[in-house]
Amino acid sequence: MYLRKIYSKNVIECLNSSSYINHLRNLSSKSLKPNVEFITDNEKITTQIEQRRNKQQVSPLIDSFGRFHSYLRISLTEKCNLRCQYCMPEEGVPLSPKSHLLTTDEIIYISKLFIDQGVRKIRLTGGEPTIRKDLVEIIARLKEIPLLENISITTNGLVLTRNLVSYQRAGLDSLNISLDTLQPKKYETITRRKGFERVVAGIDLAIQLGYKPKINCVAMKNFNEDEICDFVEWTKDRNVDIRFIEYMPFSGNRWETEKLLSFRDMLNLIQQKYPTFEALENKPNDTSKAFRVPGYEGQVGFITSMTEHFCGSCNRLRITADGNLKVCLFGNKEVSLRDAIRNGCSEDDLIALIGASVLRKKKQHAENILLFNQQNYPFRFQARNYSSKTDLTHVDEQGKAKMVNVIDKPHTKRKAIARGFVNVGAEITKLISNNLMKKGDVLTIAQLAGIMGAKQTSNLIPLTHPIPISSIKIEVKLNEEKQRVEITSAIECCWNTGIEIEALTAVAIASLTIYDMCKAVSHDITITDIKLLEKSGGKNYFKRT
């Protein structure tokens, strides 16, 4: 019940906020819960808030920005029988032991919890969900749950000709099929596997069985942009929804902005060939911008995750195959529902745990802030012409940012040492020395912050590479004579690129943490002389004298 108290307190604070009141005005009753009367004036809003607070009937699926989450995606497996270039490396990825994955009963139990709170659509994903042998059973058991309106799957389509009839009989309502090319040989290049003909046959079977399958196509420059109009032409005689997805960053696909084919770029390509290409009306929570060629049987959509995010209307939550709840696809914060269930967590506390996670959901994902400007186009430096002789490793000849490709560099042992000072003054020096700061042990917390900062460097500094760090040593000591805190970081790895930025980031984050913990006493604090002392490994050796 402790979790329930924390959750209720946070919800009441959320409900009392003016931003939530504004959201209640703007959200339709359908987006909150069925049969809730639409609220139009302050008196009714205040009354409803008071009733919800007194009865504690606030849905745990409403976040602090008023978004109600009625759509749950559940990953059934981490395995996949393809190796798509934009998704994972050719050798695959490390897999969790089977005992770590959700069982069928746990999937159904979690689904019922979310449906009781207002989820109305569940999508089964992977990996590749059709690999899971009990998929038909899972669909059938989900279909038996009252109030669930739609069960769908996202699949690569390889086994649909064999299994789709069974899925339909079990209760499957809709399906998405991944297909990035209409050329068999290019399909093999993209997926590193054969199977193009089977996928197309599966799509045609789905149409024959009465589905309008959504075809997910990840669009990339210099890869399949020459097929954009071919996909549009595919909708002439097939009742499908082709959905072009902007290429998105994942750790396994060596993200490069040069590959991004934006929604506007694709739209321009299509309109040159189809001048009558027209927009369709979209539903409030649609992720896809819908279009069609008049007279064609199918339609086309664009999922603009990178250039025109749809975070403001997001109603999706995700459960990973090992039972972690993710409130945002781009976020790295997860809470393990599997562990809570297996440790005997009560249903009330489990719902409170879900509600607390949803309340922490951010307004929007931050991944595109550094990549895109306010005009929603790939970020470019100020227009400048660069000579082809100029050796600018992070900028191409058009002035466009790029990440250096280090794949051909040898793995060597590398080490970097950095140092910095935080001048705090006499009063703070005395408080730190006696461990009397109200925020706690300044030196220890700064040390931990430095370690965390080093690990997150590639997420903080644009165009740096994620590095598997082998060792992080942060020394944070108080120099009472000079009235300052001295921070030294020493970081090691065995990799194909340098690690000095990680060492400098560690010192910077530790320094800022000290400032934050001490600013209540005085703002007359200065952070000075953050510098690299030594680096070894790679082509160059450096040591400050």
Structure tokens at 460: 């903080």
Q: Give first-to-last CA distance, the chain, whole Å.
A: 60
Structure tokens at 139: 């669909």
Per the listing, tokens 């490709």 go with 405
* Distance (Å, whole) CA 179 – CA 171: 24
Helix (H) or strand (E) holding 43: helix 42-55
- Find out whether 52 and 348 touch, Cβ atoms under 8 Å: no
The gap from C-alpha 403 to its chain's centroid, in whole angstroms, comes to 21
Nearest to 340 by CA among 126, 116, 110: 110
* Distance (Å, whole) CA 72 – CA 150: 11
Residues 237-248: b if buried by 16+ CB within 10 A, e if exposed: ebebbbbbbbbb
- Find out whether 158 and 199 touch, Cβ atoms under 8 Å: yes
Per the listing, tokens 């309109």 go with 271
Residue 1: burial class (beta carbons within 10 Å; 0-12, 13-18, 19+): exposed
DSSP 101-127: SPPHHHHHHHHHHHHHHT--EEEEESS
3-state secondary structure of 24: helix
To the query of whether residue 349 is one of the catalytic residues in this protein, the response is no
Q: Which of 173, 204, 286, 516 is catalytic?
A: 516
Nearest to 209 by CA among 179, 237, 239: 239
3-state secondary structure of 421: strand
Cis peptide before 210 (omega within 30 of 0): no
Tell me the chain's radius of gyration from C-alpha atoms.
27
Active-site residue set: 516
